[in-house]
Amino acid sequence: MKLKEIRKQHNLSQLKLAIDLNMSQNTISRYENGEREPGLTELILIADYFNISIDYLLGRTDNPEVNR
């Protein structure tokens, strides 16, 4: 998952992202380190927050655009 890369591109700390998504900083850290996988609800929250596709977030495509 590209969460760490995307978060850093937006100059966000783990804490700021966690607060904005109503999650703990520990959860964000675990997602970034591959210790935990986000569920569908969390994937949608993260993708919507950054306005990117879930496929891009998961590294399945290099195109961040959302097809709606």
- Give 35-56 pLDDT, tens digit per residue: 999 999 999 999 999 999 999 9
Nearest alpha-carbon partner for 34 in 62, 2, 60, 6: 2
Question: How would residue 63 be classed by pLDDT, with cut points 50, 70 and 90?
Answer: confident
Euclidean distance between CA atoms 46 and 56, whole angstroms: 11
pLDDT per residue over 18-32, tens digit each?
999 999 999 999 999
Q: Can you give the pLDDT at residue 68?
A: 66
Q: Can you give the pLDDT at residue 66?
A: 81
Answer yes or no: are the C-beta atoms of 59 and 2 closer than 8 Å.
Answer: yes
Q: Model-level pTM?
A: 0.91
